[in-house]
Amino acid sequence: SQTIHQWPATLVQPVGSPLSLECTVEGTSNPNLYWYRQAAGRGLQLLFYSVGIGQISSEVPQNLSASRPQDRQFILSSKKLLLSDSGFYLCAWTSGLGNQPQHFGDGTRLSIL
Amino acid sequence: ILNVEQSPQSLHVQEGDSTNFTCSFPSSNFYALHWYRWETAKSPEALFVMTLNGDEKKKGRISATLNTKEGYSYLYIKGSQPEDSATYLCASDINNDMRFGAGTRLTVKP
């Protein structure tokens, strides 16, 4: 069966520090991968998605970036965090076959001090 | 409609009541409409993915309808139970561009 792992679960970082959140999927190949953020009191906002290794689509211009170094690995990064980067980050995958539901990781609660 | 909008924002019902929520989405370039249930301290769980105008899907006491021409979907819960308490999210899928609504937070009182 397919599983998705996302870590860390919680993270407290100072303003200006770098960020690396990792997401891996097991039990499937060539998934579509997504990064979302939920800011306080708001819905899920799509940040990045990837349909293959090295292919990244950015939905929102910001100081975050994403990379997909391997088929089932998706990394969210920042060189310098801002206070506004605080929020709940979710990774998700879908089979890419079309009209398939998204399967979400457990999320990372990021607090910027 | 440019964004995905859900109403109401929150809802409190008594156990046994039936209820419904609305999701409005852009009808142009429509690909699929998703519904998810998001319980506190858990990750969102897929309920339905609908693509065709007039689609109606059902899972137990929960069902959903889709109108792609006017850009709305309804989610119905029959005989609400306390375990149905969660935030219900809808999302418009336009060729991998997933746009989520802010959700409807349902609280079912025993």
Q: Give the tens place of pLDDT for each residue, A62-102.
A: 789 999 999 999 999 999 999 999 999 999 999 877 788 99
Name the burial class of residue B77, with classes exposed (0-12), middle (13-18) and buried (19+) by CB atoms within 10 angstroms of its CB: buried
CB A38 within 8 A of CB A90: yes
Specify the pLDDT at position B97: 80
Query: Amino acid letter at B22?
Result: T
pLDDT tens for each residue of A38-50? 977 778 899 999 9
pLDDT > 70: what percent of chain A? Answer: 98
CB-nearest partner of B89 from A44, A57, A106: A44
| pLDDT by residue, tens only, chain B of 110 residues | 568 999 999 999 999 999 999 999 998 888 899 999 999 888 999 999 999 999 999 999 999 999 999 999 999 999 999 999 999 999 998 877 888 999 999 999 99
CB contact under 8 A, B43 and A104: yes
Name the burial class of residue B30, with classes exposed (0-12), middle (13-18) and buried (19+) by CB atoms within 10 angstroms of its CB: middle
CB contact under 8 A, B96 and A32: yes
Mean pLDDT for the stretch of residues A13-35: 95
B64 touching A, CB under 8 A? no
A19 has a pLDDT exceeding 70: yes
Per-position b or e across A67-104, b if 16+ CB within 10 A of its CB: bbeebbebbbebeebeeebbbebbbbbbbeeeebbbbb
Nearest to B43 by CA among A10, A96, A6, A98: A6
Query: Amino acid letter at A87?
Result: G
Cis peptide, bond prior to residue A8, ω within 30 of zero = yes
Specify the pLDDT at position B59: 95
CB-nearest partner of A101 from B4, B49, B102: B49
Rounded to a whole number of angstroms, the distance from the CA of A14 to the nearest CA of chain B is 25
A108 touching B, CB under 8 A? no
